[in-house]
Amino acid sequence: MNWIDLIGWTGSALVIAAYALITYNKISASSIVYASFNLFGSLFLIINTVYYHAMPSAFVNVVWLGIAAWALVRILNKRKR
């Protein structure tokens, strides 16, 4: 397996893990773990999809990354208070 595929599979695993953990009530939607898994998962998937010129998938993951980044900032700001 080449490095770009490994990055893509890792991203997929992180996004799926985040979804499974939230679905089975193992973590909260406002947890750092949930936001981080989504952020890094989408980042890794962006790298993979851009490399393979899969722009519709890359676009979805850019949006996903933005949502996850915003959520992570809000979570971290809330913890500072």
3-state SS string for the chain? CCHHHHHHHHHHHHHHHHHHHHHCCCCCCCCHHHHHHHHHHHHHHHHHHHHCCCHHHHHHHHHHHHHHHHHHHHHHHHHHC
| Domain of 8, in residue numbers | 3-80
Instruction: Check residue 28 and give its pLDDT.
Output: 96
Convert the pLDDT of each residue in 1-53 to its tens digit.
899 999 999 999 999 999 999 999 999 999 999 999 999 999 999 999 999 99
pLDDT, position 77: 95
Residue 24's pLDDT is 98
pTM greater than 0.85 (yes/no) = yes
Q: How many domains does the chain contain in total?
A: 1
Looking at residue 38, its pLDDT comes to 98
